[in-house]
Amino acid sequence: MSKTKLVIIEGCDRVGKDTLINGLSESFNRTTTEHWGYPVGENDEEKTAYQKTSFKLNMMKWRVEKTWDLLNLYIWNRSHIGEYVYGTMYRDSSPASWIPQLEERFLAEDVDVYLILMVADPEFIAKQDDGKSYSSNIDDKRKELQLFVDAFQESKIANKKLLRVHDENGYYTPEKILNNVINFINQ
């Protein structure tokens, strides 16, 4: 049996994360998805501890229930990188140190980790906005994208892919994006 793969899907709102996650779930047997919510705590130290503990408890839960090894993919819809971006911009946090601290926790586990950052031009994203995004302000969209790219580059995850989701004609098809990601995690 192959080893469970942890696949982290990151990116600004409206880049197609949910569509990709649904496609991965349909393409692989035995998957589970978690939406990593923002951390609880009064300060950055408490929030970091919360994130580390949450990850550890989830890993332990899967292992105690003896279901971890039955999974093909464990998918996170955003994680520590998304929290770096949105904590910095909208929650008055300073989570710059979170990326290496949180990655050390799951990189220490015997798990193949894949980081996929889905990107699109801020102007393109703004046109797709449904009013549920953190911000529809174009300057905020630019800042979000830059923070995502900066965090992605800082990440120590070896298996990482920057995935552009559109061209001048619009979004790439979900099938094209899905096949690109499947090829990446199966290489």
Domain ranges for the chain, please list them.
5-186
Per DSSP, the three-state class of 47 is helix
> What type of residue is 97?
S
Give residue 47's pLDDT. Answer: 63
55 to 5, 36, 37, 109, 173: CA distances (angstroms) = 15, 9, 11, 11, 32
DSSP string, 139-150: HHHHHHHHHHHH
Give residue 123's pLDDT. Answer: 87
Give residue 163's pLDDT. Answer: 97
Give residue 1's pLDDT. Answer: 44
- In terms of Cα–Cα distance, which of 165, 130, 17 is closest to 82? 17
Question: At 44, is the pLDDT very low, low, confident or very high (cuts 50, 70, 90)?
Answer: low
> HSE on the CB side for 144, CA within 13 Å?
29
CATH of the structural domain 5-186, one choice from 3.40.1410.10, 3.40.50.300, 3.40.50.1000, 2.40.50.140 = 3.40.50.300
- pLDDT above 80 (res 57): no
Give residue 182's pLDDT. Answer: 95
Give residue 11's pLDDT. Answer: 94
Give residue 37's pLDDT. Answer: 59
Alpha carbon of residue 1 to chain centroid:
25
What does the alpha-carbon distance between residue 102 and residue 84 come to, in Å, rounded to a whole number?
11
- In terms of Cα–Cα distance, which of 137, 128, 138 is closest to 17? 128
Mean residue pLDDT of the chain comes to 80
Q: What is the pTM of this model?
A: 0.82
Q: Encode pLDDT of 79-102 as tens digits.
A: 888 878 887 787 766 666 667 766
